[in-house]
Amino acid sequence: VMGEGGGAVVLQRVQDADRQHRATHAVIRGTAMTQDGHSNGLTAPNKHAQLAVLRQALDDAGLAPGDIDFVEAHGSGTSLGDAIEIGALTEVFGDRPAQRPLHVGAVKTNVGHLLTAAGMAGLVKTVLALRAGELPGNLHLDTPNTMVSLDGPVRPL
């Protein structure tokens, strides 16, 4: 389902925001980016590339998988894409106690796919969830993908 939207955030170094008495709503601890090279196409998911970018982001942030309780996923809603994404998240974050699963959100279930603004929508949703202290659930998860386990250590909200 396509959606329409956009967003903007102000990025500033924490020390500058503190000095200027600006509110800080979130801090970016680490970033990563990768490209999967040869594939079936630009939009074809690649589990190895997803594994690499998740591990690089954790390393850049100085965090371990167990430090993370929530991931805002790409969540395209396609059978193959969602299965590969949940598979990569499970491989990286899956070694955790059952009582402390990794919760996975996908803003596309709320607003549709915003194409080039999709990442911004996910970022804004995550910051708002942090501020509210609540994780909004995924809508329309009525018929789960049979290639995705909803009972394991990585669980869609």
Sign of CA dihedral 49, 52, 55, 56: negative
> What gap in Å lies between CA 90 and CA 54, rounded to an integer?
11
Domain ranges of the chain: 14-37+45-156
pLDDT truncated to tens, each residue of the chain (157 aa)?
Answer: 899 999 999 999 999 999 999 999 999 999 999 887 677 777 778 899 999 999 999 999 999 999 999 999 999 888 889 999 999 999 999 999 988 999 999 999 999 999 999 999 999 999 999 999 999 999 988 888 888 877 789 999 9
> Cβ(48)–Cβ(36) under 8 Å?
yes
- Kindly give the pairing relationship between strand 102-105 and strand 154-156: parallel
Given the candidates 3.10.20.30, 3.40.50.300, 3.40.50.920, 3.40.47.10, the CATH classification of the domain at 14-37+45-156 is 3.40.47.10
